[in-house]
Amino acid sequence: MRPVTIFGPDFPFPFDEWLSHPAGIGTVPEVAHGEEVAIVGAGIAGVVAAYELMKLGLKPVVYEAAHFGGRLRSHEFPGADGALAELGGMRFPISSSTFFHYVHSLELATEPFPNPLTSAAPSTVIDLEGQSYYARTLSDLPPLFTEVAVAWLTALEAHAGFSAIQIAIRNRDTAVLKSLWNALVEQWDDRTFYDFVATSKAFSALSFFHREVFGIVGFGTGGWDSDFPNSMLEILRVVLTNCDTDQRLITGGSEQVPRGLWRRAESGLTHWSDGTSLASLHGGAPRSGVTRISRATNGNLAVTDVWGAERQYPAVLVTCQNWLLTTQIDCDESLFSNKMWTALDRTRYMQSSKTFVMVDRPFWKDKDPRTGRDVMSMTLTDRLTRGTYLFDNGPDRPGVICLTYSWM
Ligand SMILES: Cc1cc2nc3c(=O)[nH]c(=O)nc-3n(C[C@H](O)[C@H](O)[C@H](O)COP(=O)(O)OP(=O)(O)OC[C@H]3O[C@@H](n4cnc5c(N)ncnc54)[C@H](O)[C@@H]3O)c2cc1C
Q: Are residues 232 and 377 in the same domain?
A: yes
Q: Whose CA is nearest to atom 16 of ligand 1?
A: 89
Number of structural domains (the chain) is 2
Helices 256-263/97-105 angle, 10° precision: 60
Residue 81 located in a structural domain: no
Rounded to whole angstroms, how far apart are CA atoms 99 and 51? 13
Q: pLDDT class for 393, splitting at 50, 70, 90?
A: very high
The pLDDT value given to residue 350: 86
Average pLDDT of the chain to the nearest whole number: 95
**Does 228 lie in the same domain as 133?**
yes
pLDDT above 90 for 7:
yes
Do 340 and 218 sit in the same domain of this protein?
no
Same domain, 217 and 259: no
The alpha carbon of 98 and the centre of ligand 1 are apart by a number of angstroms equal to 17
Give the CATH number of the domain where residue 39 resides.
3.50.50.60
User: pLDDT digits over 91-101, tens only?
Assistant: 999 999 999 99
Last residue of a domain, one of 346, 365, 396: 346
Calculate mean pLDDT across residues 103-130.
95
Q: Distance from the CA of 44 to the center of ligand 1, in angstroms?
A: 7
pLDDT surpassing 90 at residue 79: no
Domain range for 200: 91-250+350-407
Is the domain of 321 the same as that of 306? yes
Structure confidence at residue 266 as a pLDDT band (50, 70, 90):
very high
Euclidean distance between CA atoms 62 and 259, whole angstroms: 13
Closest-CA residue, ligand 1 atom 7, reads 89
pLDDT at 219 over 80: no
Given a cut of 90, whether residue 322 has pLDDT beyond it is: yes
Residues 356 and 373 in one domain: yes
Amino acid in the structure at residue 44: I
311, 401: one domain: no
Residues 139-178 have pLDDT tens digits of: 999 999 999 999 999 999 999 999 999 999 999 999 999 9
DSSP 27-84: ---GGGTT-EEEEE--BHHHHHHHHHHHHHT-EEEEE-SS-TBTT--EEEPTTSTT-E
Q: Are 238 and 374 in the same domain? A: yes
Q: Are residues 193 and 168 in the same domain?
A: yes
Which residue, judged by its Cα, is nearest atom 17 of ligand 1?
Answer: 89
- Which DSSP state fits 199? H
Residue 15 lies in a domain: no
pLDDT band at 274 (very low <50, low <70, confident <90, very high): very high
What's the pLDDT score for residue 68? 98
Residues 181 and 136 occupy one common structural domain: yes
Choose among 48, 232, 212: nearest CA to 128.
212
Residues 122 and 232 in one domain: yes
217: pLDDT confidence band, cut at 50, 70 and 90?
confident
Distance 123 CA to ligand 1 centre (A): 31
The H or E element containing residue 112 is strand 110-112
pLDDT higher at 386 or 377: 377
Instruction: Examine the domain organization and report whether 164 and 51 are in the same domain.
Output: no
Residues at CB less than 6 angstroms from ligand 1: 40-46, 63-67, 70-72, 88-92, 289-290, 319-321, 324, 328-329, 352, 354
Q: Which of 153, 150, 172 is nearest to 161 (CA)?
A: 153
Ligand 1 atom closest to the Cα of residue 87 is 1
Residues 355-366 have pLDDT tens digits of 999 999 999 999
68 Cα to the center of ligand 1, angstroms: 10
CA dihedral defined by 16, 18, 20, 25, rounded to 10 degrees? Answer: -130
Q: Report the CATH number at residue 380.
A: 1.10.405.40
pLDDT at position 400 over 90: yes
Within a domain: 389: yes
Q: What is the phi/psi pair of residue 60, to 5°?
A: -70, 140
134 belongs to a structural domain: yes
Residue 165: Cβ-neighbour burial (10 angstroms; 0-12, 13-18, 19+)? buried
Band of the pLDDT at 50, cuts 50, 70, 90?
A: very high
Burial of residue 283, with CB atoms counted within 10 A of its CB: 0-12 exposed, 13-18 middle, 19 or more buried: exposed
Does residue 8 form part of some domain?
A: no
Q: Output the CA 258–ligand 1 centroid distance in Å.
A: 11
End-to-end CA distance of the chain: 38
In angstroms, the CA 184 to CA 170 distance is 19
